[in-house]
């Protein structure tokens, strides 16, 4: 399996994206996924960062226009609320395995 890079998007790239990044860093390797970089971005920066071609998946805490991206986009607040984290981690793992 190849190393996967994830872009975590929120409004500021400071607060909620940090919570998600920390959670992914801890929980994805437990599922046997090989994760490379987990980068953070503001919603306004996301199209620019994704166009570099370095990322395999977007996990966002805020609404994004999915048509603007050619990689999968997963929208979730589960890591902040603590509700439904496992289901979202399943979705993320499935998206990365494709």
Partner 1 sequence: MAVPEVLLQSGVSSLLNSINSVIQSLGVSVLLPIIIFLIALAFRVDVLKAARSSILIGIGFIGINLVIGLFSENISPLAQQMVEVTGITLPAVDVGWPAAAAIAFGIAELGVWMIPLFVAMNLVLFAIGFTYTLNVDIWNYWHFAFIGGLVYMSTNNWLYSVAVGLTLGLFVLVAADWTQPAVEETFDTPGISIPHGTSAPYAVAAIPIHWAVDKTPLGNIEADPDAIQDRFGILGEPIFVGLAIGLVIGIAAYSNALFVAESWYAILTAGISFAAVMHILPMMVGILMEGLTPLSESIRNFMTSRFEDRDMAIGLDSAILIGHESVIASSLLIVPIAIVMSIILPGNDVLWGIDLATFPFFFALMVPIMNGNIVKMVVTGTILLIPLHYISSAVAPLLTQAAGSAGFDLAGRGLITSPVADAGSPATGVLALIPAPVALAVGLVIVLGIWVALRMWPQRMYMVAGASEEKARETVERRHTGKGGGLLPNKLGSSADVTAAEGRSDD
Residue 39: strand pairing partners: 7
Query: By the 8 A CB rule, do 70 and 48 touch?
Result: no
In 3D space, the residue among 56, 58, 61 whose CA is nearest the CA of residue 15 turns out to be 61
36 sits near partner 1 (criterion: CB under 8 A): no
Both tokens of 77, joined, read 């607040």
80 sits near partner 1 (criterion: CB under 8 A): yes
24 sits near partner 1 (criterion: CB under 8 A): no
Catalytic residue status for 25: no
13 sits near partner 1 (criterion: CB under 8 A): yes
Give the footprint of partner 1 on this chain (CB under 8 A): 9-19, 22, 40, 42-45, 47-48, 60-65, 77, 80-83
């Amino acid at each position: 399996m190849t190393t996967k890079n994830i872009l975590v998007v929120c409004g500021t790239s400071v607060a909620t994206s940090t919570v998600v990044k920390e959670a992914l860093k801890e929980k994805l390797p437990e599922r046997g996924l090989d994760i490379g970089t987990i980068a953070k971005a503001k919603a306004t920066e996301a199209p620019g960062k994704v166009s570099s071609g370095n990322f395999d998946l977007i996990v966002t805490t805020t609404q994004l226009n999915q048509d603007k991206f050619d990689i999968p986009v997963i929208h979730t607040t589960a890591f902040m609320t603590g509700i439904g984290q496992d289901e979202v981690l399943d979705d993320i793992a499935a998206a990365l395995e494709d």
